[in-house]
Amino acid sequence: MTEKKIYKSKLDFKLETSLVGNSEMQHLDFGIASSLIRSFLDDESLVLTIRGRKYTPKIEFYVNKHKITEESVQTEVDAGYEGRNQVVLIEAKNAVNQKCYYQTTLLSVPAVADSYKKESQCSVF
């Protein structure tokens, strides 16, 4: 079992507005504002660049040797961060689901991926 670590914010003041409410977006905002996400992913260059609903172009992928073709699959990116060398999509849920798969697949489709040359990953926060 991994030892639990307590994260100490890199801010020198308390974010009081982060105590109001209890939403996924609010927790993600706190995670980037306090540098928790940058520290966890070991990438100080990450900045928020993607949020909200997106539709995929035509994508093809394999599941158990079966070719799947999809087009215009709606995804919702809770938070997407771009850094010098990577794009990170974060799903603010308690479990990984199909949504992360489609989002990461979208970033690897030539029509999308040709516009940048960075590694992509999907994380649950």
pLDDT in tens, the chain (125 residues): 678 778 888 889 988 887 777 788 888 888 899 999 999 899 999 999 999 998 888 888 888 889 989 899 888 888 999 999 999 988 776 444 555 555 555 555 554 455 555 666 655 55
Q: Which residue has the tokens 């940058």?
A: 38
Q: From CA 89, how far away is CA 1, in angstroms rounded?
A: 26
